[in-house]
Amino acid sequence: MMLPRDRKMLDTLVPFVRDRALLLWERATPILDPTPYLLSLPGQVACLRTVAQQQELWAKGRRLTPQGWVVDDPTAIVTRCDGIHRKSNHQTGQALDIALRRRAEVPGRIGEIVWWCSRPVTDGAREVNRLFELVLVEARMLGFSCGCDWSRPDRPHIEIPDDIVI
């Protein structure tokens, strides 16, 4: 199942990446159908981003001083790409952020996002991680590079590398 809002956001991606993402949703559906979760996009900037949106994300955890930008809270930093000097693949429509979302108990409502947990301490968190890993296996088979595999993990991020995008 795909939420209409997610489908609309996927349409902002370059066609090759969009088509791969749609295949990922198809492959994730039988994995997630017997669970209380579905694959989803976590926010309004989960796919294509403008320079301004990328800069807003980059500024999280930082502040501008007369001497330049300084890091205030390293745990709040969302991205290393400022949108100008270092661009994100979100800006070219080659990347998306994915998450699991609880199925809404009320028809017509959107359920809450459930994130991959770096230190799962509950059975519920371990189950979310297990499901997320199964979805990422499918993503990798479709040619996506997964941010969780990077030396500085970006867990919800998947992208099609430049050399694969047609």
pLDDT of residue 69: 82
Tell me which residue range forms the domain holding 144. 4-48+92-159
Is 30 found in the same domain as 112? yes
pTM: 0.85
Would you say residue 44 lies in a domain?
A: yes
Which region, left, alpha or beta, applies to residue 112 given φ > 0 means left and ψ of -120 to 50 means alpha?
beta
- pLDDT tens readout for residues 80-113: 888 899 898 999 999 999 999 998 776 767 788 8
In a domain, 164, yes or no: no
Same domain flag for 41 and 105: yes
Instruction: Let me know how long the chain is.
Output: 166
The Cα–Cα gap between 22 and 19 comes to 5
Same domain, 54 and 83: yes
Give yes or no: residues 83 and 12 share one domain. Answer: no
Total domains in the fold of the chain: 2
19-32 confidence digits (pLDDT tens): 999 999 999 999 99
DSSP code of residue 43? S
Q: Please tell me whether residues 33 and 55 are part of one structural domain.
A: no
Residue 154 confidence class, pLDDT cut points 50, 70, 90 = confident
Where does a domain end: 87, 116, 146? 87
CATH code, domain carrying 33: 3.30.1380.10
* In the block, residue with structure tokens 């209409």: 4
DSSP string, 5-41: HHHHHHTTS-HHHHHHHHHHHHHHHHHHTTSSEEEE-
Quick one: 103 and 58 in the same domain?
no
